Amino acid sequence: MSQSSRREFLGHVSLLAFAVSRASVSSAAAAREPHLDFPTAPRDRLSVTSYPFRQFIESPTNSGRDPKQPGIDLKEFPGMIAKRFGVHNINPLLDHFASTEPAYLDAFRKAVEDAGSHMTDLGLGGRKFWDPDPALRDAAVEYGKHGIDMALAVGSPSVRQHLGGSRGVQPDVELAAKSLGKLADYGASKNVVVLMENDAAINEDPFTIVKIIEKVDNPFLRGLPDLGNSLEGGDADFNRRGVTGMFKHAFNMSHVKDEVFGAGGKTYKVDLPGLFAVAKESGYKGYFSMEFEIRLADPYAGTQRLIDETLKYLT
């Protein structure tokens, strides 16, 4: 986006009211901490991410697109999820947007509203928040700020910020906390929460994420517990302890999967009954997003399976 386009865009989004249906925000509390009034009906707590459907989504930044498959624009996604699954919450990836220009974002937001649906989170890519090079850390913060602006434009209460790393550079909690603290401050100024997910084995180890969150100590930097990502090595105890720690810092989003792939293509079953019990014990009131592993089966059938399983544990 050019400088002039960016200035126009920022001026445009500043006029947009931040509104998420069923999640009214108290402006008085917003300056101090995020607040959402979460739904309580089990189905209303479900969401679906665009990631399992990446092979179909047309976007110049979608590396997962399979040209052999029929394509859809992300604007079609909220309606498809509502009609196919009866779920009216979505959390797409920013890389799946065909454009980040104001006209497209307006059209996407209207498509969400027309589907009777709601944004629950916006997924961002990974950046180098703890690299020794301060220029790379600054670039990571600017990327995150841009993502927060996008979330504001499409009505998302949060962004999931992946943590990228550099070859040979181990996670540095001190540097990460300084960078992510700046991003959390920016999120607070826009009333958009920054979420960190346990995902990549080293860069996004759940215990490292918890240390960063606690070091920053900003209510706008929170955890996004993925129920299966930390099971890749097959260690169920490690996964449970990691997810438990993440739920202590969770706010509005958790990812659900029932199986994961490990080394050599081996699959591991996720202890959904045990982990939903952990979520309940932690007092978590937010959304559960279906993120089916498409190497296991068709994403449509797999997503329906996750929905059925999740409703069983939420009822």
Give the type of residue at 49. Answer: T
Assigned token pair, 169:
């550079």
Strand ranges of the sheet holding 46-49, from the earlier edge strand across to the other edge: 118-119, 89-91, 46-49, 287-290, 253-256
Listed in order, strand segments (DSSP E) in the chain are 46-49, 89-91, 118-119, 122-127, 158-163, 193-197, 221-224, 253-256, 259-261, 267-269, 287-290
Q: Do 204 and 252 meet the contact criterion of CB atoms below 8 Å apart?
A: no
Find all residues with CB under 8 Å of 107, minimum gap 6, and list them: 75
Dihedral angle of Cα 187, 122, 294, 248, to the nearest 10 degrees? 40
* Range of lowest pLDDT (26-35, 170-179, 189-198, 221-230): 26-35
Q: Is the pLDDT of residue 16 over 70?
A: no
Strand partners, 91: 49
Q: Is the pLDDT of residue 182 over 80?
A: yes
Q: Is the pLDDT of residue 6 over 60?
A: no
Q: What is the pLDDT of residue 129?
A: 97
Q: Is the pLDDT of residue 31 over 80?
A: no
pLDDT digits (tens, 9 = 90+) for 253-287: 999 999 998 777 889 999 999 999 999 999 999 99
Per CATH, which fold does 3-26+33-314 belong to? TIM Barrel (3.20.20)
3-state helix, strand, coil in the chain (%, to 5): 45, 15, 40
Q: Is the pLDDT of residue 7 over 80?
A: no
pLDDT digits (tens, 9 = 90+) for 119-147: 999 999 999 999 999 999 999 999 999 99
Strand partners, 48: 90, 290
* Range of lowest pLDDT (29-33, 37-41, 182-186, 239-243): 29-33
For the chain, domain boundaries: 3-26+33-314
* Range of lowest pLDDT (70-74, 284-288, 291-295): 291-295
| Mean per-residue pLDDT, 284-297 | 92
Find all residues with CB under 8 Å of 301, minimum gap 6, and list them: none
> In angstroms, what is the C-alpha Rg of the chain?
18
Residue 88 neighbours by CB distance under 10 Å: 21
